[in-house]
């Protein structure tokens, strides 16, 4: 779980650096286009006075300084991004332990789980840092849908094999792995759930809920567990559950 969170943080930082990189590139292109336009005006004008000419040239020189500064920032961001990509690759695919200067990060142990949950790679997916919002009562039916927001409070991870089994001990969804992160919960209920009640249910203190939705950050695939082992007595479930 620690590895997943660390890699998720690196991915988020890479995305931020990538946005800065694109912004710097865009500014450079804009400034270079302005220079071309000014130079074109200087060459095409039939009547020019020295004051206007010097003003144009001063503006061009200033823009060139700005561009050099932007290009330096651009290169700095690019270098940082490359280093983060290397760091992230090392986390997900650690170096062999024979290297004395680096110890391999601890990965999740999947021994014995493959018979019950068939994962395509047997390795944890890298997941987005998203967590559920408190619920709001629905006006159309008895279904309460909890939305998605960036994790700043309570992300939930599948931590136990029993989270992935139905009442008969069978796997509910083969695409859900240990370590996958919850992004949305659909609760069939006649009442609104408070955030603390939701956290209790996610902790297993009063049972688990009807439908959990997960997202894989790498493939952006969203998949759902449609039923879990223990239902809270305070909730009423529809026939599809």
Q: What's the CATH number where 65 sits?
A: 1.10.287
Q: Is residue 111 part of a domain?
A: no
* Residues 6 and 78 grouped into a single domain: yes
For 19-53, what is the HEC assignment?
HHHHHHHHHHHHHHHHHHHHHHHHHHCCCCCHHHH
What residues form DSSP beta bridges with 165?
171
Number of domains in the chain: 2
- For residue 62, the model assigns a pLDDT of 72
Q: Is residue 234 part of a domain?
A: no
Q: Is residue 191 part of a domain?
A: yes
Q: Is residue 220 part of a domain?
A: yes
pLDDT band at 77 (very low <50, low <70, confident <90, very high): low
Q: Phi then psi for 218, rounded to 5 degrees?
A: -70, -50
pLDDT at residue 86 is higher than 50: yes
* Residues 74 and 145 grouped into a single domain: no
pLDDT at residue 26 is higher than 50: yes
For the chain, what is the HEC assignment?
CHHHHHHHHHHHHHHHHHHHHHHHHHHHHHHHHHHHHHHHHHHHCCCCCHHHHHHHHHHHHHHHHHHHHHHHHHHHHHHHHHHHHHHHHHHHCCCCCCCCCCCCCCCCCCCCCCCCCCCCCCCCCCCCCEEECCCCCCCCCCEEEECEEECCCCCCECCCHHHHECCCCCECCCCCCCCCEEEEEEEECCCCCCHHHHHHHHCCCCCCCCEEEEECCCCCCEEEECCCCCCCCCCCCCCCC
Q: Is residue 168 part of a domain?
A: yes
pLDDT at residue 2 is higher than 50: yes
In 3D, which of 206, 208, 196 has the Cα closest to residue 165?
Answer: 208
Q: What number is the average pLDDT over the span 149-154?
A: 28
- For residue 51, the model assigns a pLDDT of 59
pLDDT band at 189 (very low <50, low <70, confident <90, very high): very low
Looking at per-residue pLDDT, the higher value among 155 and 62 belongs to 62
pLDDT at residue 118 is higher than 60: no
In 3D, which of 30, 23, 41 has the Cα closest to residue 67?
Answer: 30
* Residues 134 and 214 grouped into a single domain: yes
* Residues 135 and 221 grouped into a single domain: yes
Q: What number is the average pLDDT over the span 70-90?
A: 65
* Residues 65 and 148 grouped into a single domain: no
Q: Phi then psi for 100, rounded to 5 degrees?
A: -70, -25
Q: Is residue 159 part of a domain?
A: yes
- The DSSP bridge pattern shows strands 211-215 and 222-225 to be antiparallel
Averaged confidence pLDDT in the chain: 51
Q: Point out the domain boundary residue: 40, 72, 92.
A: 92
* Residues 17 and 80 grouped into a single domain: yes
* Residues 141 and 210 grouped into a single domain: yes
Residue pair 4/179 in contact by the 8 Å Cβ criterion: yes
pLDDT at residue 151 is higher than 50: no
Q: Point out the domain boundary residue: 92, 117, 150.
A: 92
pLDDT band at 33 (very low <50, low <70, confident <90, very high): confident
pLDDT band at 78 (very low <50, low <70, confident <90, very high): low
Residue pair 150/163 in contact by the 8 Å Cβ criterion: no
Range of the domain at 85: 2-92
Report the C-alpha gap between 199 and 232 in whole angstroms: 13
Question: Does the global pTM surpass 0.85?
Answer: no
């Amino acid at each position: 779980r620690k590895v997943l969170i660390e890699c998720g943080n690196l991915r988020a930082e890479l995305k931020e650096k990538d946005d800065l990189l694109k912004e710097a590139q865009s500014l450079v292109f804009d400034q270079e286009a302005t220079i071309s336009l000014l130079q074109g005006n200087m060459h095409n004008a039939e009547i020019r006075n020295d004051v206007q000419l010097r003003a144009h040239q001063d503006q061009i020189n200033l823009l060139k300084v700005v561009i050099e500064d932007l290009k330096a920032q651009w290169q700095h961001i690019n270098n940082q991004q490359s280093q983060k990509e290397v760091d992230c690759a090392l986390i997900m695919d650690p170096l062999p332990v024979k290297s004395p200067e680096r110890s391999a990060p601890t990965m999740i142990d999947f021994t014995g789980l493959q018979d019950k949950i068939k994962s395509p790679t047997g390795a944890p997916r890298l997941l987005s840092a998203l967590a559920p919002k408190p619920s709001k009562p629905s006006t159309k039916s008895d279904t309460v849908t909890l939305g998605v927001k960036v994790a700043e409070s309570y992300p939930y991870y599948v931590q136990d094999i029993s989270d992935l089994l139905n009442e008969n001990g069978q796997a509910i969804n083969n695409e859900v792995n240990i370590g996958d992160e919850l992004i949305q919960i659909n609760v069939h209920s006649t009442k609104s759930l408070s955030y603390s009640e939701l956290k209790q249910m996610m902790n297993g203190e009063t049972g688990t809920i009807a439908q959990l939705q997960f997202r894989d950050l790498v493939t952006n695939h969203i998949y759902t567990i449609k039923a879990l082992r223990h239902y809270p007595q305070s909730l009423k479930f529809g026939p599809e559950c």
